[in-house]
């Protein structure tokens, strides 16, 4: 163990107040202490450190060069102490120290990032463990009890899923791919003759396939981003979320395939909580942040470039 600190937070807080308020009398008023106690605290601080921290210029206290350097570090120390005390207060009120969230890859990333940003501003220090899953991975995490909330396309048996949003999928290929250059609406038979890029289920057990999988020639990759990269290289086609590919389609880097049986497909996305425990205040707050972000996403759908691609 290291030696005990020679200084206290109260002494550093006194020094900070003297500098910020312009003098000992003003600092005493702000801290609701006597002027003599403030002077004593600063004097003891200088004595413990062995350096001069303040000098008087007229009636105003000014930092020495050493004092300016040390106070800069002390401000960070005081801010961290305040955050720690605030976090302790929220724990005393029943706030969770940490929560876990599983999010399926089809959830629009800006939506979940906006929800988490709002949560971070209001959650008073609760830590978040984010798990990014594919297909049944989020549901498996719920069943295992390893997450508090999940955004998943399927709610596991015994769990109640709250419908959050629909995600549109589009069949896309490179503009020079034979499917994109066919010049006609494509049948399922035409698709089945070409290589299809699909996403691997992230579940550890009971993995399943999902979506249109009639093509016997398939490449399986680990993420939607990798699937898009493969397709943009000119290899194969894939069904990808419209919100993910809209920029590439708008720029001409990808083409939406015309199908005889219509346009894209849709998948539901549900907000599901862990059934094995009551929702604490942090989990409830995060759920509210996710709902609000989903509403904002829907409201802004018609303002995003390429929104017409997913049928909004």
- Per-residue confidence (pLDDT) for residue 88, from 0 to 100: 66
128-166 per-position pLDDT tens digit: 999 999 988 898 999 888 999 999 998 888 888 899 999
Residue closest to 196 by CA, chosen among 132, 257, 108, 133: 257
Q: What is the mean pLDDT of the chain?
A: 85
Q: Which residues contact 66 (CB under 8 A, 6 or more apart)?
A: 51, 52, 53
218-231 per-position pLDDT tens digit: 899 989 999 999 99
**Count of helices and strands (H, E) across the chain:** 10, 11
Asked if residue 31 has pLDDT above 50, the reply is: yes
Residue bearing the bigger pLDDT, 310 or 247: 247
Q: Which of 2-6, 133-137, 170-174, 186-190 has the lowest mean pLDDT?
A: 2-6
- Per-residue confidence (pLDDT) for residue 154, from 0 to 100: 86
Q: Which domains does the chain have, with CATH numbers?
A: 9-92 (1.10.10.10), 98-164+268-303 (3.40.190.10), 166-266 (3.40.190.290)
């Amino acid at each position: 163990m290291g030696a005990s600190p020679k200084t206290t937070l109260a002494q550093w807080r006194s020094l900070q107040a003297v500098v910020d308020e312009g003098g000992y009398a003003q600092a005493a008023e702000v801290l609701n202490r006597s002027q003599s106690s403030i002077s004593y605290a600063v004097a003891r601080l200088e004595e413990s450190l062995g350096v001069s921290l303040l000098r008087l210029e007229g009636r105003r206290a000014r930092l020495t060069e050493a004092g300016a350097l040390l106070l800069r570090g002390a401000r960070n120390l005081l801010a961290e102490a305040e955050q720690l005390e605030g976090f302790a207060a929220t724990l005393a009120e029943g706030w969770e120290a940490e929560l876990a969230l599983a999010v399926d890859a089809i959830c629009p990333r800006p939506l979940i990032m906006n929800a988490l940003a709002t949560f971070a501003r209001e959650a008073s220090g609760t830590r978040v463990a984010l798990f990014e899953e594919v297909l049944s991975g989020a549901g498996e995490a719920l069943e295992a009890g390893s997450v508090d909330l999940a955004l998943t396309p399927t709610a596991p048996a015994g769990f109640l899923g709250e419908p959050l949003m629909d995600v549109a999928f589009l069949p896309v290929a490179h503009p020079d791919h034979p499917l994109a250059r066919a010049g006609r609406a494509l049948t399922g038979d035409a698709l089945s003759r070409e290589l299809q890029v699909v996403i691997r289920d992230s579940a550890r057990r009971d993995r399943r396939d999902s979506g249109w999988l009639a093509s016997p020639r398939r490449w399986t990759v680990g993420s939607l981003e990798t699937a898009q990269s493969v397709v943009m290289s000119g290899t194969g086609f894939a069904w990808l979320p419209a919100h993910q590919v809209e920029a590439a389609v708008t720029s001409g880097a990808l083409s939406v395939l015309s199908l005889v049986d219509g346009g894209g497909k849709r998948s539901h996305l549900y907000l599901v909580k862990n059934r094995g425990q009551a929702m604490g205040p942090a989990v409830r707050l995060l759920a509210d942040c996710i709902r609000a972000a989903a509403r904002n996403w829907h409201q802004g759908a018609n303002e995003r470039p390429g929104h017409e691609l997913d049928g909004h």
